[in-house]
Structure 1
Amino acid sequence: MKLSKRSIFIIVVIVLTIAADQISKVLVRANVGLRNEISPGERIPLIGDAFVLMHVENTGAFLGMGSELNETLRVLLLLVLPILVLGFVLRYIIKDKSLDKWSLFAFSSIIGGGIANVYDRIVYGKVTDFLFIDLGGVFRTGIFNLADLSVTTGMIILVFVSFSKKKTQTA
């Protein structure tokens, strides 16, 4: 079976996204002190106090949401549901040949980031987060990882692509 350039593009984006995320998490787990409820943990300023590296293990989803759920609900909402959604999105981008390169890249980034975090939940029972941005109170994030960044970037790209398509349709 010969893969098309389009299929290779999808595979490469997904694999590179997963690889970058997993390598960064291995490095953080090995080299940055873990933050917990008793001790604030190690904070490594990368760009002053605006961009900080720290190590947090998250049993929930975005910003720890869902970490208080019972085990059955957590498995359903943080493992089963994401796997199903990622499968449907992958099926969609493989079947819909009309997607432009930016949309294809965005969806592939979302899939790669989603797979990387699901992998962590399956293997470790939690997700390693380590990046924090605080731009003087103007913009502040929770603690996140490269998979989260890939998913968010993919979503932002899809919004821009959607707006640009609507703009050209109305013109």
Structure 2
Amino acid sequence: MRLKKGIRNLMIVLIIACNIGCDQISKTIVREEVDYNENITLITRFLTLTKIENSGAFLSVGDSLPFVVRFIVLSLIPLIALGIGLYIVLTRTSMKRPIVIGICFVIGGGIGNLYDRMLYGSVTDFLHMDFVLFKTGIFNMADVSIMIGIGTLIVFSYIAKNKRIQYS
């Protein structure tokens, strides 16, 4: 039983580490190879690479806050939340696998962005998508990890809820 828990926790740490690694490798490449506000088309009229530094949160929300408030809201509180999330996912062994994976993606993406914020004072964003009727803000791979994690949690919760309704 202990070995099984150890393997489970190792897999959790590996999933989180892979998310952090993909994020940090992509940001390092962009920081070294792309100029600020340079536009590089990756997929015609769909995906563009544009390097910016974001000192706020999503879509630069909070970047004009005083430093102390910005530090508390964008660094300290997320650090505590990520720590609690990691503790929960490592200790609650009864959670379903899709929930664990979703949480790991959120934690990995959160750590990737938090690492940038703590080390550089801002987060490097570089991807922009244009769906003609809808355009995204500029984001990074940590943001993608967070969205995949949240999407996994929502889809699994929806499926689990529908299964309970069908079997009631």
Q: Establish whether TM, by shorter chain, passes 0.5.
A: yes
Shift of 1:78: 0.5
Counterpart selection for 1:83 from 55, 65, 79: 79
3-state DSSP class of the match of 1:12? Answer: helix
Identity over the aligned pairs, expressed in percent? 38
Q: Residues of 1 paired with 2:162 and 2:15: CA distance?
A: 28
What number of residue pairs does the alignment pair up? 164
TM-score by length of 1: 0.93
The CA deviation string for residues 104-126 of structure 1, in whole angstroms up to 9 with x for no partner, is 11101111110111110110000
Q: Residues of 2 paired with 1:67 and 1:167: CA distance?
A: 41
Residue 153 (structure 1) aligns with: 148
Which residues of 2 match residues 21-170 of structure 1 at below 5 A?
A: 21-34=23-36, 41-137=37-133, 139-170=134-165
Which structure features the higher share of helix residues?
Answer: 2
Q: Residues of 2 paired with 1:132 and 1:125: CA distance?
A: 22
- Kindly indicate whether residue 16 of structure 2 is the aligned counterpart of residue 20 of structure 1: no
3-state DSSP class of the match of 2:56? Answer: coil
Q: Residues of 2 paired with 1:69 and 1:44: CA distance?
A: 31
Amino acid at match of 1:66: G
- Runs of 4+ with >4 A deviation: none
Amino acid at match of 2:8: R
After alignment, is 112-121 or 94-103 more displaced? 94-103
3-state DSSP class of the match of 2:119? Answer: helix
Q: Residues of 1 paired with 2:56 and 2:163: CA distance?
A: 40
After alignment, is 86-95 or 10-19 more displaced? 86-95
Which residues of 2 match residues 6-17 of structure 1 at below 5 A?
A: 6-17=8-19
Residue 6 (structure 2) aligns with: 4
Q: Residues of 2 paired with 1:159 and 1:56: CA distance?
A: 30
Query: What's the Cα RMSD here?
Result: 1.2
TM-score by length of 2: 0.94
Unaligned runs of 5+ in 1: 35-40
